[in-house]
Structure 1
Amino acid sequence: MDEPLAQPIARHGVVDALVARIRADVLAERYTPGAYLPPERDLAARYGVTRTSLKHALVRLVETGLLETRHGVGTRVRDYRRDAGVDLLPFLVVAAGPDWLPEIFQARREIGALIAARAATHATPEQRERLSDLVAEVRAAPSTDAAQRAECEVHRTLAAACANRVYALLVNSLLRAYDEVRHLFTGPFSDPVAAAARLRRLVEAVREGDGPAAHAAAAAYYAETERLMLA
């Protein structure tokens, strides 16, 4: 495999930029999973940074689970497919979005429907009211971007209402991944009034406390918005 080509990194925010650069190279498999990175001196020269900055960046990447350091041996690239968690999704979308989007959409449909069904039976009166307010916010949104942001808050509210903190964390990761490429998927929100009408059917089922209806409405909503996003 060819060695990654790297441009020198500017001094300002050098560690953050270096973390992002090495992470992108790892996710793109420019460094083979299971292989060791080049010696620190060579790696620092490749990215045009000091060894101190490189050490700080490597520590952070070890903490994320992308790398592991073996004393006296070197820094090894871990297989993120086997070892990483959903917190890596936003970076995978940036590094190789088209490869991940079909599976992200599938998870969005299936997890979203489960969350909606649970929210229908667990949401508090305040959360049910908040959902209605957000539908109104989508409808009155002054721009496509504002409608998208309000719709994201609907999903956060549903996740908070489903009485399962693990689902809520999964939704956070999916929304972070979506936010990285949100500008590419504006189709469902170009008409905020129509977007609100689609969303209202889901929210009404949740507000009425009907779990099966909420599950069906959510599955239909996610399938329709996915179709519009990809059109």
Structure 2
Amino acid sequence: MRTLPRETVVDTLEAQLCEEIVTGGHPVGSYLPPERELAEGYGVTRTTLKHAFARLTQSGLLETRHGIGTRVRDFVRLGGVDLLPLLVRHSPGWLREIFEVRRGVGVLIAEQAAARATDAQRSELRGLLEAVTAAEGGEAVQLADMEVHRALSRATGNRVYVLLTNTLFNAYLPVRSHLVAPFADPAAARARLEPIVAAVAAGDRHAARAAAGEYLAATEQIMLERLGAA
């Protein structure tokens, strides 16, 4: 048991400013109003405002020019993939674009895994597939499914694929509870994954790519339908 973290005033202000930035309330390239004016408008101290600014600067959304002011960065042009979880949390429209990348990267990973996986990695994939069936509850199945994909990315022998996979999964975290629908039935989740694992185990690149494409399209459709309903 542990005490759950409580949201602070800085957390609330950071979330509010982030929402206003990513939705265009504070346009890219614009300077925010003076600190005193902002602090009064939000009903916070200037110290609280500075803490929120520091977080958003670290996230890549703001930049401060001493003697001039705090400006909204062009985060789409200059930012990195580490911004995705933040952007999805405050603007779920990013999720469709993440899914598009997921499809493109996912089929490449499966194809490369089929070509490069070692015997030990093939064995690991089969074991992780069984873990999907054994998992209880949608969230547990979802996490077990993720481990299969992490193992596929490792089997490519390309660490960039591993990092991209981690980044995409991290981007899902803010809305993960809404993406659990494909994993409600462990047997069905396993059945969708099994053709990918079988093709990788057989070293069949074309079959692995095709199976990954089918899996990604099917799970994406289910997730987006559930998000639309939510």
User: Aligned pair count?
Assistant: 220
What does residue 3 of structure 1 align with? none
TM value normalised by structure 2:
0.87
Q: CA deviation at 1:75?
A: 0.4
What does residue 23 of structure 1 align with? 18
Name the aligned partner's letter for residue 222 of structure 2: L
- After superposition, what is the alpha-carbon deviation per residue over 1:93-150, rounded to whole angstroms, capped at 9, x for unaligned? 22221x2232222111110010111122233333322221221111122111111111
Q: Any conservation in 1 of the 2:19–2:91 contact (CA below 8 Å)?
A: no
109, 134, 142: which is aligned to 1:148?
142
Secondary structure of 1:181's match? helix
What does residue 130 of structure 2 align with? 136
**Counterparts of residues 96-111 of structure 1 (less than 5 Å):** 96-97=91-92, 99-111=93-105
After alignment, is 44-53 or 74-83 more displaced? 44-53
73, 83, 97: which is aligned to 1:78?
73
**Counterparts of residues 56-67 of structure 1 (less than 5 Å):** 56-67=51-62
Name the aligned partner's letter for residue 207 of structure 2: A
Secondary structure of 2:91's match? helix
What does residue 219 of structure 1 align with? 213
Q: CA deviation at 1:175?
A: 0.7
**Counterparts of residues 151-170 of structure 1 (less than 5 Å):** 151-170=145-164
RMSD between superposed Cα atoms in Å: 2.0
Could you list the structure 1 runs, at least 4 aligned residues long, displaced by more than 4 angstroms after superposition.
none
**Counterparts of residues 109-120 of structure 1 (less than 5 Å):** 109-120=103-114
Matched residues in 2 for 1:37 and 1:144: separation? 43
Matched residues in 2 for 1:66 and 1:42: separation? 20
What does residue 206 of structure 1 align with? 200
166, 170, 175: which is aligned to 1:172?
166
What does residue 89 of structure 2 align with? 94
Q: 1:48 to 1:160 in 2, by over 3 A?
A: farther
**What are the ranges of 5 or more consecutive residues in structure 2 without an aligned counterpart?**
1-5, 226-230
Q: CA deviation at 1:81?
A: 1.9
- After superposition, what is the alpha-carbon deviation per residue over 1:188-221, rounded to whole angstroms, capped at 9, x for unaligned? 2221111101101101111222222211111111
Matched residues in 1 for 2:120 and 2:48: separation? 48
Matched residues in 2 for 1:125 and 1:54: separation? 55
Identity in percent: 54
Q: Any conservation in 1 of the 2:21–2:27 contact (CA below 8 Å)?
A: yes
17, 32, 35: which is aligned to 1:37?
32
Q: Any conservation in 1 of the 2:39–2:49 contact (CA below 8 Å)?
A: yes
**What are the ranges of 5 or more consecutive residues in structure 1 without an aligned counterpart?**
1-10
Q: CA deviation at 1:12?
A: 6.0
Secondary structure of 1:37's match? coil
